Amino acid sequence: MSVEPLSASQGRGSLAADPIVAIATAPGRGAVGIVRVSGPALAGLAERLCGRRLEPRVATYTAFRDAAGGIIDQGLALYFAAPHSYTGEDVLELQAHGGPVVLQLLLARCLEAAAEIDPATGAPRLPRLRLARPGEFTQRAFLNDKLDLAQAEAVADLIDASTEAAARLAARSLAGVFSAEIERLREALVQLRMLVEATLDFPEEEVDFLEQADAAGQLEALQAGVDAVLRSARQGALLREGIKVVIAGQPNAGKSSLLNALAGAELAIVTPVAGTTRDVVQQTIQIEGVPLHVLDTAGLRDSEDEVERIGIERAWSHIENADAVLFLHDLTRLGAPEYEAEEDRITRALSQKLGPNVPVIDVWNKRDAWPDAHALPGPADAHDALVLSARTGEGLQRLRERLLQVAGWQSGQEGLYLARERHVQALRQVQAQLDHARALLQAPMPSLELLAEELRLAQNALNEITGAFGADDLLGVIFSRFCIGK
């Protein structure tokens, strides 16, 4: 279920109309499960569910009761009074035993108790309580200024982190490290905009605000700051997204063996029979915390077998969408006329199907089977050639290092934070607008109106990162990808 886009009238700081409830822990059995409620004035509902008033921000061990006063379960109840809560609204958390049936009973009891008539008011205790949509608790935290948009995304990234490095960087982003960098850039940009606008507004004063305030120097420093943040964001996005690496080559070049060697597990079937691999086998591996999505594909050749032909078509489809291609060559067949002719055909096809920015890494396999331990034929003898044995593991470390290099990873960097591709694109947009601004500022007769517009567009791009400004449909897309209860 996706989050409905916010209406134009729902700005940041507004409270959502309906109270919401959801099971906040993962499906299945566990030691503890949580039912979470958020909305206005939850103290009465909490008292009805627990049979006692709850002191805010104090864990209370209590029984959770049904409508007749019977006990559903016993556990901890936590009540957070607005605005001192995750969402900025009143929040109630019921921590019970983590059985699916128990949690469903508690969820149903919350909805039932909310609809009961309160004797003191003659009205439902909590009207319009409904099930939460995916990401709606965090969405409310954003709308109520408890988190900015980059921090809200970091919540999902922390949950989804597949490596220790990704989890640590997501925690940094959630703590506001990335947002603080963006705010620093925004303040510098606002200061520069102020100078340009002042020059536009008061031309009769004959005071060159831009020159006196060193606007060119401020713009240069701002560009350097954006470049530094973009470098860190690229690395963070790489840790989050990884790259897609496709192993391609003729049948029996050792593609499946290489996938197994990189993964450290027998994932793909390996036999001496050509055409064993008929479909794509994918595995995500980690090198220095960077996820690489490696795909083993069917051997590339002309085939009369219909099933194999479909596998080869799928192989080319994945190759065309790869971030990098490992073109695997068989050392033991180099020099054979038919083999070399097919290698040339695959090389031409790769050059036609791949974009100019997609690297092709040539790898010569079966080093262990080459008879001369010192001399290698042709290009495999080059200084930077990647020669390995998927069977023995010789040369695999060099391949891993080359893959990191191709991915753009730079180890040992400090001050990184987990970023998303949209953050990288926004920062690139800021770079482009500032480049235009610099060209205008350096012109013999600067157009200050155009300069002011370029700076405004740059600030809009920065604001989109933290959500100070952004399209309503962007918010809907982001929060719809969260899990329910978060």
Residue of 3 and 406 predicted with greater confidence:
406
68 is in an annotated binding site: no
Provide the domain count of the chain.
3
Q: What is the layout of strands, in order, in the sheet containing 90-98?
A: 60-65, 71-80, 90-98, 30-39, 20-23, 130-131
Known binding residue 274? Answer is yes
Last residue of a domain, one of 95, 125, 142: 142
Per the annotation, does 408 bind a ligand?
Answer: no
Nearest to 359 by CA among 204, 244, 471: 244
One domain for residues 233 and 260: no
478, two tokens: 């982001």
Let me know: does 269 contact 275? Beta carbons within 8 Å: no
Residue 255 — φ and ψ, nearest 5°? Answer: -65, -50
Instruction: Tell me the per-residue pLDDT of 342-393, one tens digit each, with 9 for 90 and over.
Output: 989 999 999 898 888 888 999 999 888 876 655 676 676 666 678 888 889 8
Q: Is residue 485 part of a domain?
A: no
Q: Looking at this protein, which amino acid is placed at residue 399?
A: L
Task: Convert the pLDDT of each residue in 214-232 to its tens digit.
Answer: 888 999 999 999 999 998 8
Which is more confidently placed, 226 or 305? 226
Which helix (H) or strand (E) covers residue 21, if one does? strand 20-23
The reply, when asked if residue 391 is annotated as ligand binding, is yes
- Check whether 199 is labelled as a binding-site residue: no
Q: Quick one: 256 and 275 in the same domain?
A: yes
Residue 255 is assigned to a ligand binding site: yes
Last residue of a domain, one of 142, 159, 183: 142
**Model confidence at 315: pLDDT above 60:** yes
Task: Tell me how far CA of residue 287 lies from CA of 58, 171, 201, 239, 415, in angstroms.
Answer: 44, 21, 55, 10, 20
pTM over 0.85, yes/no: no
Is 33 labelled as part of a ligand binding site?
no
If asked whether residues 265 and 195 sit together in one domain, one would say: no
Q: Are residues 318 and 401 in the same domain?
A: yes
Per-residue exposure over 67-81, b if at least 16 CB sit within 10 Å of its own CB, e if not: eeeeebbebebbbbb
Contact 291, 242 (CB under 8 A): yes
For residue 127, is the peptide bond before it cis, meaning its omega torsion is within 30 degrees of 0? no
Please, where are the H alpha helices in 242-325?
A: 255-263, 306-320
- Convert the pLDDT of each residue in 137-156 to its tens digit: 999 999 999 999 999 999 98
Biggest distance spanned by C-alpha atoms of the chain = 93
From residue 104, give the alpha-carbon distance in Å to each of 77, 97, 448. 17, 11, 62
Q: Is residue 10 part of a domain?
A: no
Q: Does 392 carry a binding-site annotation? A: no
**Does one domain contain both 193 and 57?**
no
Residues 185 and 268 in one domain: no
* Distance (Å) of CA 439 to CA 212, 217, 218, 395, 448: 19, 13, 14, 49, 12
Residue 84 sits in a domain whose CATH number is 3.30.1360.120
Does 244 show up as a binding residue in the annotation? Answer: no
Confidence of residue 291 (pLDDT cuts 50, 70, 90): confident
351 is in an annotated binding site: no
483 belongs to a structural domain:
no
Q: Does the annotation flag 438 for ligand binding?
A: no
Hey, CA dihedral for 71, 72, 78, 80, is it positive or negative? negative
Nearest-angstrom CA–CA distance, 426 and 469: 12
The mean of the pLDDT values for the chain is: 83
> Which CATH number do you get for residue 228?
1.20.120.430
Which residue type, as a one-letter code, is found at position 387? Answer: V
pLDDT tens digits, one per residue of 454-485: 999 999 999 999 887 544 544 555 566 667 77
Taking only the tens place, the pLDDT of each residue in 414-430 is 567 788 889 999 999 99
**Residues 65-73: what's their mean pLDDT?**
92
Q: Which stretches within 277-420 are classed as H helix?
A: 306-320, 337-353, 396-407
Phi, psi angle pair for 108, to nearest 5°: -65, -35
β-partners of residue 245 are 294, 324
Q: Is 390 annotated as a binding residue?
A: yes
Q: Are 98 and 31 in contact (CB under 8 A)?
A: yes
* Neighbouring C-beta atoms of residue 217, cutoff 10 Å: 9
Residue 195 has pLDDT above 60, yes or no: yes
**9: in domain:** no
Pair (431, 367) in one structural domain: no
Known binding residue 93? Answer is yes
Pick from 232, 161, 290, 222: nearest CA to 424: 232
Do 383 and 395 fall into the same domain? yes
Matching residue, tokens 């120097």? 217
Instruction: Indicate whether 5 pLDDT > 60.
Output: no
**Residue 254 counted as an annotated binding residue:** yes
284 marked among binding-site residues: no
Based on the fold, state whether residues 349 and 256 are members of the same structural domain: yes
Q: Are 394 and 261 in the same domain?
A: yes
| 253 labelled ligand-binding | yes
* Residue 2 in marked binding region: no
Give the span between the Cα atoms of 379 and 275, in whole angstroms.
26
CA 181 – CA 327 distance, rounded (Å): 40
256 is in an annotated binding site: yes
Note whether residue 109 is domain-resident.
Answer: yes
Q: Which CATH number fits the domain that encloses residue 383?
A: 3.40.50.300
Q: Does residue 137 form part of some domain?
A: yes
**Do residues 209 and 267 both lie within one domain?**
no
For residue 82, what pLDDT band results from cuts at 50, 70 and 90?
A: very high
Residue 206's pLDDT band (cuts 50, 70, 90): very low
Q: How far apart are CA 87 and CA 81, in angstroms?
A: 10
**426-455 residues labelled b (16+ CB within 10 A) or e (exposed):** bbebbbebbebbbebbeeeebebeebbbbb
> What pLDDT band is residue 486 in, cutting at 50, 70 and 90?
low
Chain-centroid distance, C-alpha 236: 9
Instruction: Give the burial string for 17-34 (b: 16+ CB within 10 Å, else e).
Output: eebbbbbbbeeeeeeebb
pLDDT of residue 55: 95
Is 35 part of any known ligand binding site? Answer: no
Residue 414 lies in a domain: no
| DSSP label at residue 251 | T
In degrees to the nearest 10, what's the CA dihedral of 195, 196, 197, 199?
Answer: 90
At 308, is the pLDDT very low, low, confident or very high (cuts 50, 70, 90)?
confident
What are 175's two structure tokens? Answer: 């703590």
Alpha carbon distance 446, 72 (integer Å): 73
Residues 6+ apart with CB under 8 A from 472: 5, 6, 7, 8
Q: Of all residues in the chain, what percent are helix, strand and coil, respectively (each to 5)?
A: 45, 15, 35
Residue 62 labelled as part of a binding site: no
Is 128 flagged in the annotation as binding? no
| Domain extent for 431 | 170-238+420-467
Same domain, 248 and 397: yes
Residue 375 lies in a domain: yes
- Residue 353 among known ligand-binding residues: no
